[in-house]
Amino acid sequence: MHRNATTLLFAALLLPAAAYGQFVEDFKPSRANCCLPGMAQSLADQLQDWNQLGRYHGDNERLKALQPDPQRVVFLGDSITDGWKLTQFFPGKLYVNRGIGGQTTSQMLVRVFPDVIDLKPAALIVLAGTNDISRNTGPQTPAMVEENIQAITELAQAHGIKVILCSLAPVSDYTARKQTEHRPPADILKLNAWLREYAAKAHAVYVDYYAALVDDKGMLRDGFSEDGLHPNAKGYELMAPLAEAAIQRALR
């Protein structure tokens, strides 16, 4: 199976060159990286777990062996959650990090049972959608993203889990990488407006990270991120009390 996948990957690499269908005057090929067979094999291996269910499998099994705790909370999200050191910002809390960098809501939806429901948490806090806007797994309509979040919410609630939905944080162009090119502020505002409205309808708690982090230009506040997308320590310091207040509200 691995050999077949590798062969297909190499065949795909050959297609663009053949598609042009003409000779060139000068030989100026694109620079090839080292170790292409190894890279192809790595891609083939990763495609077998596209949703990355294996990322937390071992820790999930460990937690499932413990008694459910009425204070356990799962943080589900992408790299912003993945990079959040929960033990540092929420000392003594039974908060479980299930963020995976680069993921979109469709991938998180597949992870709801193994990474959330099976752990029997009291609450789930969801921060997702920025990678959908940037097309990490291909183009999507707003309705597709909204339905994924709705499905995550309804699955959790059907199993007695309180749900907290978080607004997307703003992005900025203050750093070397221009984040608004891939995550237009208008799209972030549109999804946040839907999240607020849906949270009220679904009896979920809404957390407004956007309002805490945005400046007067509609950008992520300067100094609160190193790349214009991911919060740094100062950014997480602003977010942590908002998340904690929302969790306590949900658990009441």
251: three-class secondary structure by DSSP: helix
CA distance 188 to 176: 21
pLDDT at 42: 67
Q: Give 11's contacts (C-beta < 8 A, 6+ positions apart).
A: none
At residue 50, the pLDDT reads 76
Q: Is residue 214 part of a domain?
A: yes
Predicted pLDDT of residue 203: 98
| Listed residue (95, 165, 180, 156) closest to 128, CA to CA | 165
Residue 58 in domain: no
pLDDT at 27: 65
Decide if 132 is inside a domain. yes
Give the pLDDT score at 74. Answer: 98
Two tokens, residue 243: 């998340």
Check pLDDT > 70 for residue 20: no
pLDDT given at position 26? 73
What does the pLDDT look like over 166-220, one tens digit per residue?
A: 999 999 999 998 999 999 999 999 999 999 999 999 999 999 999 999 999 999 9
Question: What pLDDT is attached to residue 123?
Answer: 98
Task: Assess if residue 18 is contained within a domain.
Answer: no
Instruction: Give me the mean pLDDT over the 15-25 stretch.
Output: 53
Mean pLDDT along residues 61-77: 95
Q: Is residue 40, in this structure, part of any structural domain at all?
A: no
Closest CA to 246 of 126, 98, 152, 160: 126
Question: Residue 106: its pLDDT value, please?
Answer: 96
- Which residue range forms the structural domain that includes residue 143? 70-251
Residue 130 above 80 pLDDT?
yes
Mean pLDDT of 55-70: 93
pLDDT band at 223 (very low <50, low <70, confident <90, very high): very high
- Tell whether 110 is covered by a domain: yes
Tens of pLDDT, residues 136-149: 999 999 999 999 99
pLDDT at 54: 85
In a domain, 3, yes or no: no
Is the four-CA dihedral 212, 216, 219, 225 of positive or negative sign? negative
**pLDDT of residue 13 exceeding 80:** no
Measured distance between the N- and C-terminal CA atoms of the chain, rounded to whole angstroms? 51
State the DSSP code for 225: B
Q: How many CA atoms lie within 13 A of 100 on its CB side?
A: 20
Q: Which amino acid appears at position 80 of this protein?
A: I
Q: Shortest CA distance to 221 belongs to which of 242, 235, 202? A: 235
The dihedral built from the CA positions of residue 90, 91, 92 and 98, taken in this order, carries a sign that is positive
Positions of E strands within 22-115:
73-77, 95-99
DSSP 23: -
Domain CATH for 185? 3.40.50.1110
The structural domain count of the chain equals 1
Is residue 170 a part of any domain in this protein?
yes
